[in-house]
Structure 1
């Protein structure tokens, strides 16, 4: 402090009269610093506060003021300021810079100017422009009860196109109730607030009204009482919109009461209310004691889910939700009922949807689940254990009028419009163990019935599922391929009758397959596929990890082949498929190739020497890396490229490696021409 002058009122001092003991304080330069690291330490005694109250002057003048206030993580700096205040005439306040730093606010204001008024132990600062769009209309510091260790602050600010008001008082004489805060806001523009706070994406809307109260010790929130109410209108942020959003909450008696969280969007309404006990420790927030009710009437589902980050085009329809939840005593309980109509989920239409869920301390129970789409339906019930294993049980029933609506790999044939493919499925789940049965009704064919039994725990990986025990059976007495749809956008078999009965057991990694599959009069739509075959018939009998081809009759444009073979899938990572013919097959390769993507069988007239070639395909069951090899008989002379007796020629298969065709050319005896009927020719000559 430099060059300070104090004018005393001695009459009041000696006679102990009411009024001020100091008439005037004048300071040319004042530097003040206040550091408070422990808020529980008493700054002054009760008598000291009373003395400080009596030292308040009638007039005050500070020509230059430098102030630094630190309390915990907060810092206030006032630089190159001046202050004058009087009970008889207006005063003024100026400051070159005011800086406020705290965990919530970091702001600096420059070149401040305003008017002051000192009356009734209240200092008022008015007409202060902090920054563009932020004007302090009036701020009053109340020292009237300073002797009782109580101060108050009131302010009225024009900010962000609206008004902010607050009344703050602090009492030192009370241990558990030393802060009283009441504030309100009206008509604040969210666009200006987002600009001031530097949001990357603009926020538009209006904070129409808001009120906030707090009473208690800031360091002991469990003993405090508080309330909050606010209303936002016309909220938009990115592609999120809401016509109105209201929040009301209160804190009292160690309880947080959510009076209302209300969201309105045109024809959408959502309401959440409830109460929760204030946790005694930070870990208690992970196990909240909450009771609440939820109610929603959503007529535009996509617009509502966009509030939570979903793409609005992926969802549509109407849905209503009613429910409650109770976590008292760490025991979960509650129920939710959901009804929906004309829904769209990820661009899939659903006519109606309903579900009823009940939450119990040890499980989530699905009392009812129904979904309908056109003539299709899915219904079920069940429960999910809330233990770490998350075992679940229940039943499912599904019916669809056309499998092609849900499985894109199933398509109609190119020759004709295929009829619908109805499917019915029933499933029973017990402790994550599925037992499934059902039937697929292909057009003009007998039903393909199937059963399956397999474990499917929550969170199982594909590798673990491949090693899990399972049982699958298929029974298809007669499947007419001409009326059946295509699979995988292919058109391999266009006609024929497929029949069989197959059962698979043990694991997908090491399967055991028993049964048989037969194809009669199979016709291919084109010979431009991997093998230039236009028709064929076969019978495959499976026995464990092997299968035998009792016959494999193939037909090309000029050749008929009668083959037999076997399949070895004991090791699914190296499946072996061997075929050999009763008539000789000739190797016509005139040059070596590094890989092949097509096999062509051409007619070969005599005089090729008799002999035979075995074809062997080898590769993983699921994946690439296949190869084809030619095994020639010892002593045969029909290979154009000379090879040792009994040699094996291996060609990797390279599907999809490029447009260039790399063909493995084989030869076979051409089909015999049908001899004319001699008796018929003689009759025609006689005529």
Structure 2
């Protein structure tokens, strides 16, 4: 065969192969793409469905009705749907097996909907990052009608989003609206634009203006090591004359995904940032400087490391004010180290520092702490902690230390105060001293004074013996009317009062002994407190040398509706016509005599007093409120004792 004929034969065979390829390639490529999608779905724990796949010869592959689902806890973790996906492949990449090979020349996704919520199931397979890394296109254009990212405390929605990128120049980003939602946070940014650059697997987005004074200068997503399961991102934000910088990287090592994060901020105005982000409550002040870092697996915090340093100035939120709040803390090798928590508020200063170890026996961790403070205005400092300003006042100094190691605790705490107001009650001075000497905690001194009035107490707790404790205290008041003291049935208390209390017990019950004496009466009680109920085995009241004795119980199960029942230990009588003699009752009047109805039980509930006689008949009477008129005491008759008694 001549050379000319051989050339014609070769060309004919080539044309025949091209003709067969053009006829068979759509069929082969369509089924190849379908099989590959099914294979990758099984490997990665995904569910992938399509309505149709088209692969015209020498044209991009079209996937219609694409739906991707990844199961999660309580529902789908990741879900994406796109009516039209177009992927252009490079035939030359079939013969190039290097890591820099890019088989995907172009990618176009239209009208996608993406949902990311919660977390994936532990049984779900791992995503094949190497395959994703090999599918990074040279150019792309993606449009999404809705993108939702929802977690337990935050929600971000993007609507009408379009992003494009190419290695040959700049691309664009447009977002119709961005919605942020969460506790105390609700904000929408509309008509957001930016410029993109796509080069060697690194996507950079810049010049994103959200509001006047709030803009994202740059946001970079590094996918160059996606095949090695590593993703990195970094960003810079201008926040009302301040700046915020952060970087984030994540990489899978075996069965663990490690995260590295670091960031810094300075000069951020909280008063401008709060309304800009749609915070529902106003916040004032400035984030003068802040730094943070984290490295580890968020699902295994015991083996992570972290650090934080922040300084706030001129802080104000919910009527809480502070000139300076500074905190520095580290976490490493299961140890939390509070380097310093410093709060300055005009004449108030408080400093805390400490360290604790998160051991396997987390109920008994090692701990070390120090506290010192000089509070010149207790009311203002109490407001910072959420209390009402007018309920507290005065000066307080506090200093102490605590050290716990191997279930042994030692330390001390001293508290002094002058010219105080505590829960709106004036107090001239306060002194308290607490010592810790494992396994005991001792209250060596506690004393409140107001003029001649005082409240004193001492006690101790032994943690080695079911938290057994002992407590004793006494008080003296020369005029009870200054304290607005009131007791159910007795009403407002006036005159002098001396009390003495002794208590002892453990974590299951407490034995109480109480003695009370006023100008014209005295009383005593002894009982056991257990399970929100006080059982009184003896209780006596003496008025004008006439004594009435009771036993009974007080139930504290419902703190808003405390109930008390008493049974006379001595014979008592109450008048037959008691209910018509006054509008309400206030106080008790004891008198000698045996006339009237015998009393078998007396019950107090809210503002009602119920009296029962031996036959079971009951009478319910009203107890007086604070300023109610038409009152009278409850008259109880005590039979005179015989000379033999």
TM-score above 0.5: yes
Distance of aligned partners of 1:44 and 1:407 in 2 relative to their CA distance in 1, 3 Å threshold: closer
**What is the Cα deviation at residue 298 of structure 1?**
0.9
Task: Give yes or no for contact 1:208–1:232 (8 Å, CA) kept in 2.
Answer: yes
1:136 paired residue among 197, 216, 232:
216
**What is the Cα deviation at residue 275 of structure 1?**
2.8
Distance of aligned partners of 1:13 and 1:135 in 2 relative to their CA distance in 1, 3 Å threshold: farther
Distance of aligned partners of 1:243 and 1:77 in 2 relative to their CA distance in 1, 3 Å threshold: closer
Distance of aligned partners of 1:8 and 1:64 in 2 relative to their CA distance in 1, 3 Å threshold: farther
How many angstroms apart in 2 are the aligned matches of 1:325 and 1:175?
A: 40
How many angstroms apart in 2 are the aligned matches of 1:128 and 1:502?
A: 87
Distance of aligned partners of 1:220 and 1:208 in 2 relative to their CA distance in 1, 3 Å threshold: same
Q: Secondary structure at the match of 1:245?
A: strand
Aligned pairs (5 A) from 1:415-426? none
Distance of aligned partners of 1:576 and 1:214 in 2 relative to their CA distance in 1, 3 Å threshold: same
Task: Give yes or no for contact 1:510–1:571 (8 Å, CA) kept in 2.
Answer: no
Residues 1:252 and 2:332 are matched in the alignment: yes
How many angstroms apart in 1 are the aligned matches of 2:180 and 2:297?
A: 22
Q: Secondary structure at the match of 2:342?
A: strand
2:319 paired residue among 229, 239, 243:
239
Q: Secondary structure at the match of 1:232?
A: strand
Aligned to 1:382: 459
How many angstroms apart in 1 are the aligned matches of 2:496 and 2:273?
A: 58
Aligned to 1:297: 374
Aligned to 1:223: 303
Distance of aligned partners of 1:81 and 1:9 in 2 relative to their CA distance in 1, 3 Å threshold: farther
Residues 1:455 and 2:539 are matched in the alignment: no
Task: Give yes or no for contact 2:416–2:431 (8 Å, CA) kept in 1.
Answer: yes
How many angstroms apart in 2 are the aligned matches of 1:225 and 1:624?
A: 62
Distance of aligned partners of 1:87 and 1:378 in 2 relative to their CA distance in 1, 3 Å threshold: same
Deviation digits for residues 64-107 of structure 1, max 9, x if unmatched?
Answer: 56786889989987665544445564333334456788999987
Distance of aligned partners of 1:455 and 1:384 in 2 relative to their CA distance in 1, 3 Å threshold: farther
**What is the Cα deviation at residue 300 of structure 1?**
0.4
**What is the Cα deviation at residue 247 of structure 1?**
2.3
Q: Which moved more, 1:132-141 or 1:37-46?
A: 37-46
**What is the Cα deviation at residue 356 of structure 1?**
1.2
1:352 paired residue among 426, 429, 433:
429
How many angstroms apart in 2 are the aligned matches of 1:194 and 1:233?
A: 15
Task: Give yes or no for contact 1:250–1:259 (8 Å, CA) kept in 2.
Answer: yes
Deviation digits for residues 147-180 of structure 1, max 9, x if unmatched?
Answer: 4432211111234663322111122346556211
Distance of aligned partners of 1:133 and 1:460 in 2 relative to their CA distance in 1, 3 Å threshold: same
How many angstroms apart in 2 are the aligned matches of 1:14 and 1:615?
A: 115
How many angstroms apart in 2 are the aligned matches of 1:187 and 1:403?
A: 54
Distance of aligned partners of 1:221 and 1:103 in 2 relative to their CA distance in 1, 3 Å threshold: farther
How many angstroms apart in 2 are the aligned matches of 1:102 and 1:7?
A: 45
**What is the Cα deviation at residue 185 of structure 1?**
2.4
**What is the Cα deviation at residue 396 of structure 1?**
3.1
Aligned to 2:557: none
Deviation digits for residues 254-306 of structure 1, max 9, x if unmatched?
Answer: 2222222222211111222223344769xx5x776644332222110011111
Distance of aligned partners of 1:424 and 1:25 in 2 relative to their CA distance in 1, 3 Å threshold: closer
Residues 1:116 and 2:188 are matched in the alignment: no
Aligned to 1:469: 538
Residues 1:151 and 2:231 are matched in the alignment: yes
How many angstroms apart in 1 are the aligned matches of 2:622 and 2:232?
A: 87
Deviation digits for residues 214-272 of structure 1, max 9, x if unmatched?
Answer: 11122222221112222222222233211122222222112222222222211111222
Task: Give yes or no for contact 1:8–1:23 (8 Å, CA) kept in 2.
Answer: no
How many angstroms apart in 2 are the aligned matches of 1:510 and 1:102?
A: 56
1:434 paired residue among 510, 513, 518:
513
Aligned pairs (5 A) from 1:191-230? 191-195=271-275, 198-230=278-310
Aligned pairs (5 A) from 1:303-342? 303-326=380-403, 334-342=411-419
How many angstroms apart in 2 are the aligned matches of 1:275 and 1:141?
A: 37
Aligned to 1:62: 141
Q: Secondary structure at the match of 1:468?
A: strand
Task: Give yes or no for contact 1:454–1:471 (8 Å, CA) kept in 2.
Answer: no
Distance of aligned partners of 1:180 and 1:197 in 2 relative to their CA distance in 1, 3 Å threshold: same
**What is the Cα deviation at residue 459 of structure 1?**
7.8
Q: Secondary structure at the match of 1:172?
A: strand
**What is the Cα deviation at residue 110 of structure 1?**
4.5
Q: Secondary structure at the match of 1:214?
A: strand
Task: Give yes or no for contact 1:31–1:66 (8 Å, CA) kept in 2.
Answer: yes
How many angstroms apart in 1 are the aligned matches of 2:286 and 2:92?
A: 54
Aligned to 1:43: 127
Aligned to 2:491: none
Aligned to 2:347: 267
Distance of aligned partners of 1:349 and 1:146 in 2 relative to their CA distance in 1, 3 Å threshold: same
How many angstroms apart in 1 are the aligned matches of 2:572 and 2:468?
A: 32
**What is the Cα deviation at residue 125 of structure 1?**
0.9
Q: Which structure 2 residue ranges, 5 or more long, are not aligned?
A: 1-61, 63-84, 487-493, 506-510, 553-565, 584-592, 612-620, 631-645
Distance of aligned partners of 1:196 and 1:334 in 2 relative to their CA distance in 1, 3 Å threshold: farther
Distance of aligned partners of 1:212 and 1:501 in 2 relative to their CA distance in 1, 3 Å threshold: same
Q: Which structure 1 residue ranges, 5 or more long, are not aligned?
A: 410-419, 441-447, 475-499, 513-544, 546-569, 578-593, 599-613, 627-651, 660-687
How many angstroms apart in 2 are the aligned matches of 1:331 and 1:34?
A: 52
How many angstroms apart in 1 are the aligned matches of 2:384 and 2:518?
A: 42
TM-score by length of 1: 0.58
Task: Give yes or no for contact 1:33–1:67 (8 Å, CA) kept in 2.
Answer: yes
Task: Give yes or no for contact 1:575–1:619 (8 Å, CA) kept in 2.
Answer: no
Distance of aligned partners of 1:114 and 1:400 in 2 relative to their CA distance in 1, 3 Å threshold: closer
**What is the Cα deviation at residue 9 of structure 1?**
7.8
Aligned pairs (5 A) from 1:603-642? none
Task: Give yes or no for contact 1:9–1:21 (8 Å, CA) kept in 2.
Answer: no
How many angstroms apart in 2 are the aligned matches of 1:304 and 1:76?
A: 37
**What is the Cα deviation at residue 15 of structure 1?**
11
Aligned pairs (5 A) from 1:495-534? 501=545, 505=549, 507=551, 509-510=566-567
How many angstroms apart in 2 are the aligned matches of 1:336 and 1:164?
A: 41
How many pairs does the alignment contain?
A: 492
Deviation digits for residues 378-435 of structure 1, max 9, x if unmatched?
Answer: 33312356799987534435455656655779xxxxxxxxxx9877666555553436
TM-score by length of 2: 0.61
How many angstroms apart in 2 are the aligned matches of 1:200 and 1:323?
A: 39
